[in-house]
Amino acid sequence: MKLKHYVVAGLFALSAAVPAVSSAAGDAAAGKAKAAVCAACHGQNGVAMIPTYPNLAGQHELYLVSALKAYKSKQRNGGQAVIMQGQAAALSDADIANLAAYFSSLPAGGK
């Protein structure tokens, strides 16, 4: 009987995760248009000129979506989180998906 509960719980968890994964696909062109403000810290092509700021170019799309949503919900703290929380607060889910699609489409290291 316990195994049945684990299977049901596992299937529920898997079905809950599938929409989140499939909704990550954004429009890179729309993301590029929205990314101008990101360039101030993360560089024109997603490669930061300041070593303490992360490069966004070539990052995994789902990682970027997850990070931006964590900033938006204020679950991500430390470092420059206060700045990123303010930036992410103004983003819709579509904006987040589009930005993630754009930065993940860029070559890592700007090359």
Q: How many other CB atoms sit within 10 Å of the CB of residue 71?
A: 23
Structure tokens at 59: 């990052």
pLDDT number for residue 58: 96
Interior CA angle at 96 toward 66 and 99, to 5°? 110
Q: How far apart are CA 111 and CA 100, in angstroms?
A: 18
Q: Average pLDDT of 63-90?
A: 95
Closest CA to 80 of 52, 59, 103, 61: 52
Lowest-pLDDT range, 2-11, 55-64, 65-74, 97-106? Answer: 2-11
What's at 32, amino acid-wise?
K
- At residue 6, the pLDDT reads 52
Q: Answer for the pair 68, 91: CB distance below 8 angstroms, yes or no.
A: yes
Pick from 9-13, 26-30, 46-50: least confident: 9-13
Confidence (pLDDT) at 105: 97
Tens-place pLDDT, residues 46-69: 999 999 999 999 999 999 999 999
| Structural domains present in the chain | 2-110 (1.10.760.10)
For residue 87, is pLDDT > 50?
yes
Residue 19: pLDDT over 70? no
